Structure 1
Amino acid sequence: MNANTIPFAITILALGLSVNIVFAQNANPQSKQTGPTQSEEIPMLSERLEAKAAASATRLPEDVRQTYARGIVTVRATGIEKSAKQVGDGAIDAQLSGWDGKSIKLSDLWQDGPIVLMWYRGGWCPYCNIQLRAMQQSMDKLENAGAKLVVLTPELPEKAKETAEANDLDIVALHDKGNAVARKYGLVFQLPKAIVPAYRDKLKLPQYNGNDAMELPLSATYVIDKSGKITYAFLDADYKKRAEPVDVIEAVKKAAQK
């Protein structure tokens, strides 16, 4: 081999090594990206909620669907979406216990960093369960953004535990007995008379909440910063609509920078 052929030989050798490396990476599953690809990403929460609503629409009689739809209109007409706590308002402090028996003071949590305060209506609500599972799947990103998730519910602790177990959740919901905290946030509304029988007799709301009050909180989500101020608020009278986890995570990132 003369001096003129040495660079060519080195090039061939380099190409051969490159091909072998690529082949080894493709042959070894552990060297591949383990996270979901763009086509395999978890669907947005709104898509899952819409799919559930579409499935319910095919199952429920038209008159029942119209009754629930009118119920949403009635709740929205009360102005609750605007009268409830909004961005810029001070958060309400409270000491609450979860089904694990541990007591938590909300201000102790937000003093350490932003918190996400989220209400769900009860384990009887399929839309709540879909949202809870979505938040569970987003927990790592939420915590990496600098926040703690705090979930409140009016359902009894033993019912909240059943909800967590049925949905494979690590989330421990805090018991908002009699909607006391939700009431201070302005989130509580009376169920429209037309849908009371369904909630009372079919969904067994009194058994879940441990009282006969025909009321519920909006499925609200707030982000609260270290100063105790609300920096993000999702409020919708339509129980089929919930805060999108990606939006909540972005709101947390902004709150954490303050």
Structure 2
Amino acid sequence: MNLKAQIDAYNVQKEADLPTEVLALMNTTNEELIAQHIRDNALQVGQKVKNFSLLNHRGESTELATLLAQGPVIVSFYRGAWCPYCNLELKALNDYLPQFKAKNAQLIAISPQLPDETLSTAEKNALEFDVLSDVSNTIASQFGLLFTLDERIQKLYTGFGIDFEHYYGDKSFKLPLPATYVIDQNGIITYAFISEDYTLRAEPENVLAALQLENI
């Protein structure tokens, strides 16, 4: 089952579990975010990515330049461990890790979560790649992905028991748009999936196809 099919199945269950008014609010605020066209100002194919260094889930420094010296790098921005769509995406990417490695590619995932929560995400999903902590969204901001969660959704998520201060160390409610990039060894973006719609994610098969194009 591909990632879209897994997400579709989750959406069916979500619609069965949540009250109509909650679903309506989620859909309304999602449509309003889409209408902001934030992704238009995000880094796109053909642009160069600045070098950066972040701590991974083991507390080790991970530098983009070091990874690029070994081959292309896949970078996936996700919201956090509380997000079911993010967990589905991370596990789907992990399933493709052997195929990514066969193309000499490195995979990293980035969120603004605190280090302990990043470690928890990696362990919970049995991830075999580096999961990085971009506390305060410094790198997400450089990529042009940052947005502030709608106040109505802030209250809704808080009511669900999602403690943003616990996950992020603050209550700024700033998050990155879901985004997946392939960066070549020159630091140039060769593939970009960016969506204001948090229910849409890059299909790992498409990421793999982008890597294959680099090898032609």
The structure-2 alpha-carbon separation of the partners of 1:200 and 1:215, relative to structure 1 and needing over 3 Å to count, comes to: farther
- Alignment match, 1:7: none
Q: Which of 152, 158, 161 is the matching residue for 2:110?
A: 152
Structure that is richer in strand per residue: 2
- Alignment match, 1:241: 200
Structure that is richer in helix per residue: 1
Whole-angstrom distance in 2 between the partners of 1:97 and 1:163: 14
Whole-angstrom distance in 2 between the partners of 1:139 and 1:231: 19
Whole-angstrom distance in 1 between the partners of 2:67 and 2:129: 15
- Alignment match, 2:144: 186
Q: Is the 8 A contact 1:191 1:214 kept in 2?
A: yes
Whole-angstrom distance in 2 between the partners of 1:186 and 1:117: 14
- Alignment match, 1:8: none
How far has the Cα of 1:199 moved from its partner? 3.0
Moved runs in structure 1, 4+ residues, more than 4 A?
none
Any idea what SS the aligned residue of 1:173 has? strand
Whole-angstrom distance in 2 between the partners of 1:171 and 1:226: 19
How far has the Cα of 1:193 moved from its partner? 1.9
Whole-angstrom distance in 1 between the partners of 2:97 and 2:62: 19
- Alignment match, 1:92: 50
Q: Is the 8 A contact 1:45 1:134 kept in 2?
A: yes
Identity %: 34
TM-score (norm 1): 0.80
CA offsets 1:78-129 (integer angstroms, 9 cap, x no match): 2112111111111132111112111011122113211001111111011111
Q: Is the 8 A contact 1:111 1:227 kept in 2?
A: no
Larger displacement relative to structure 2 (228-237 or 73-82): 73-82
**Aligned partner of 1:248: which letter?**
V
Whole-angstrom distance in 2 between the partners of 1:120 and 1:62: 26
Larger displacement relative to structure 2 (198-207 or 68-77): 198-207
Q: Which of 65, 70, 87 is the matching residue for 2:23?
A: 65
Structure having greater relative contact order (Cα 8 Å, sep ≥ 6): 2
How far has the Cα of 1:256 moved from its partner? 4.0
Whole-angstrom distance in 2 between the partners of 1:216 and 1:198: 16
CA offsets 1:1-28 (integer angstroms, 9 cap, x no match): xxxxxxxxxxxxxxxxxxxxxxxxxxxx
Whole-angstrom distance in 2 between the partners of 1:218 and 1:95: 20
- Alignment match, 1:114: 72
Whole-angstrom distance in 1 between the partners of 2:13 and 2:105: 34
TM-score (norm 2): 0.95
Whole-angstrom distance in 1 between the partners of 2:158 and 2:51: 31
Q: Is the 8 A contact 1:156 1:209 kept in 2?
A: yes
Mapping of 1:83-232 within 5 angstroms?
Answer: 83-201=41-159, 202-232=161-191
Q: How many residues align?
A: 215
How far has the Cα of 1:252 moved from its partner? 1.2
Whole-angstrom distance in 2 between the partners of 1:126 and 1:193: 20
- Alignment match, 1:52: 10
**Aligned partner of 1:72: which letter?**
N
- Alignment match, 2:210: 251
Which ranges of structure 2 fall in alignment gaps of 5 or more residues? Answer: none
RMSD of aligned residue pairs (Cα, Å): 1.2
Q: Is the 8 A contact 2:37 2:196 kept in 1?
A: no
Q: Is the 8 A contact 1:120 1:152 kept in 2?
A: yes
- Alignment match, 1:17: none
